[in-house]
Every structure is written in C-alpha cells, then in structure tokens.
Amino acid sequence: MDIRVDGLTKIFTKARTPPFVALDDVDLACGGGEIVALVGPSGCGKTTLLNVIAGLTEPTSGHVTVDGVAVTGPGPERGVIFQQYALFPWMTVRENVEFGLRLRGVRRSQLRGVVDHYLELVGLGDFPDTLPKELSGGMKQRCAIARAYAVQPVVMLMDEPFGALDAMTRVTLQEQLLDTWGQERTTIMFITHDVDEAVYLARRVVVMASNPGRITKIIDVDLPYPRTQETRLSEAFVASRATVWREVWRPMVGGEAL
C-alpha cells in the first residue's frame, strides 16, 4: 500500500479552550493507483489527516508511512493540491510548474519539454507565459495540478481542490482529473464535502465523522473506469450516492453535533 496510516491521533490544545480531538486513533491504507475520497462534515479531521500525510502537521501519536518510508516532513513524492490553488502569483504558469522540477535538479535542457508536457496534459498549453492573476479559478487549479504532477509524486493529496469553483467548471475539472489520472496512475487521496464528486471520482469513499474526528465507514464504489457523464445517470451511481449520503448523515442526525 502506498499510504499507510496507523493509530493516528491529533489533539489540538490551545490556552483557555478545551483540547480539540481532530483525529482519534485513525487507521487507513490506500494505494495501487486508486482514488480514495474522504468525505465528512467540517471538523471531522479530513484536512488534518491529509496534512499529517503531507508532512505539514505533526501527529500527537501514531504514524504514517508512504511507500514504506515513515513521514517526518513534506516531500516531493507526495504532491499536494490546496483548495486556494497556492500558485506563486509573481511567477508565470511555466515558472510555477518549473518550481518543483528545478528543486529536483532537472536540467535546463529538459525543463521546457517536461513543463510543456504537463501544461498540455491539463489543457494549459496555450498559456505558459500568463500570470496567475489573469487565469480563471479553474485554470489556476489546473496549473496547480500540472505543478504537482510534474515532479512525479507517488501519491497525490488533494484538499477540496474544486471546492471554490462553480458547478460547471467543477464537472469539467473532475473529468479532466480522471483523464490525467488515467495517464499517470498515481494514488489520489481526495477530500471533498460533495458526495456526488466523491462517488464520481473514487473507487472507495472514506466517510468520517466529527467530535472526535474518526472514520465511520469505508464504502466501495462499484463503477468501472473510465467514468463519463453517463456514469452519473446510471442506477449504480445513484445507489452508491445514496449509501454514502446515509452514512454521512447518520451520525449528524443522531444528534452528535453539526
């Protein structure tokens, strides 16, 4: 398994407030080039889990290994996509994608070709010299995806990457992500609060609940890839979505706090 999470607990302590249990003894394993979606209400610790795997947050206890190596900090074998795009605004699209490649010591002569390939992959081939401020939200996120894929990570961690986009753009980017994934076959861990999105993209949906943050159920989505917009209309899709919805809503309706 590419990502293995064992007994992960994260407690945030702040002066004058009771400690907040963001993650309570979480176990999870995923890999083999699958897409796993994490869904759950706010405060269920899904972002915290992703940040611990990314090496951006230290766990209180438990540990994470990626490709058999214990995570002690961030590393380029784990690509991260942030909801806020996080493009460097003073760099052009090309320079943004180059950033990680240069750090990996890719030679200048090869740089151009690699960047062009990934820009083409996300459909930004015509905008290499554009600044982020001139891009739409969807294009910004596509640039961020190209930047993350360019360093060829083993796993891709995505934190509500399409959360700030309008519905149509979101659908387009979901399709494009599946396309890219079809070519790169990286394991993707995808956080979303959109159940439709989770079912459409993922082979498995991990449902989380809050207070304390934990995994309540892992649901297999039995829909073959490649998935298309037709898939969304199929009975199997509707059934899977219903299963996930029930699982997401059950603890909340149970009065466990929203």
Partner 1 sequence: MLTRLNRLPMLAYYVATIALGFALWSILARLVGNGLLPPPETVARAFRSEYERGAFIDDIVASVRRVTLGFVIGVTAAIPFGFAMGWYRWGRGLLEPWVQFFRTIPALALIPLYVIAFGIGEFPKVLVISVATFLPTVVATYQGVLDVDGTLINAARVLGANDGTIFRRVVVPSSLPFILVGARISLGAAWGTLVAAELIAASSGLGYLVQRSALYFEVPSIFVAIITIGFIGLAMDRAVALVHRKATHWQERR
Task: Give the count of beta carbons closer than 10 Å to the beta carbon of residue 180.
Answer: 22
Which CB sits closer to partner 1, 151 or 165? 151
Q: Does 55 bind partner 1 (CB under 8 A)?
A: yes
Query: What residues numbered 89-118 form the site for partner 1, per CB under 8 A?
Result: 89-91, 99-100, 103-104
Q: Which of 43, 79, 128, 212 binds partner 1 (CB under 8 A)?
A: 79
Q: Give the 3-state secondary structure of residue 183.
A: helix
Q: Which stretch binds partner 1 (CB under 8 A): 5-13, 34-42, 70-78, 225-233?
A: 70-78
For residue 208, give the amino acid letter. M
Q: Does 12 bind partner 1 (CB under 8 A)?
A: no
Cα 158 to the center of its chain, rounded Å? 2
- Residues with Cβ within 8 Å of residue 155, at least 6 apart in sequence: 2, 3, 31, 53, 66, 77, 78, 79, 186, 187, 188, 189
Distance of CA 167 to the CA centre of its chain: 18
In the list 74, 125, 182, 226, the residue contacting partner 1 (rule: CB under 8 A) is 74
Q: Pick from 32, 108, 133, 235 the residue near partner 1 by CB under 8 A.
A: 133
Q: Least separation, in Å, of the C-beta of 78 and partner 1? A: 7
* Residue 151 near partner 1 by CB under 8 A: yes
C-alpha–C-alpha distance, residues 34 and 220, integer Å:
11
Among 54, 146, 205, 215, which residue interacts with partner 1 (rule: CB under 8 A)? 54
Pick the closer one to partner 1 by CB: 90 or 249.
Answer: 90
Question: Least Å distance between CB 129 and partner 1?
Answer: 12
Q: Does 207 bind partner 1 (CB under 8 A)?
A: no
Reference 193, options 43, 32, 34, 15; nearest CA is: 43
Q: Which stretch binds partner 1 (CB under 8 A): 20-28, 48-56, 195-203, 240-248?
A: 48-56
Among 132, 212, 213, 251, binds partner 1 (CB under 8 A): 132
Part of the chain binding partner 1 (CB under 8 A), chosen from 87-95, 179-187, 200-208, 235-243 = 87-95
- Residue 9, CA distances (Å) to 49, 59, 67, 101 in order: 9, 6, 21, 34
Find the angle CA(176)-CA(179)-CA(185) to the nearest 5 degrees: 130
DSSP 86-111: ---TTS-HHHHHHHHHHHTT--HHHH
Rounded CA-CA distance 63/152 in Å is 24
Q: Which residues contact 67 (CB under 8 A, 6 or more apart)?
A: 2, 77, 154
Q: Which stretch binds partner 1 (CB under 8 A): 6-14, 118-126, 144-152, 245-253?
A: 144-152
Contact between 244 and partner 1 (CB under 8 A)?
no
| Residues near partner 1 (CB under 8 A) | 54-56, 73-76, 78-80, 82, 84, 86-91, 99-100, 103-104, 131-133, 144, 147-148, 151
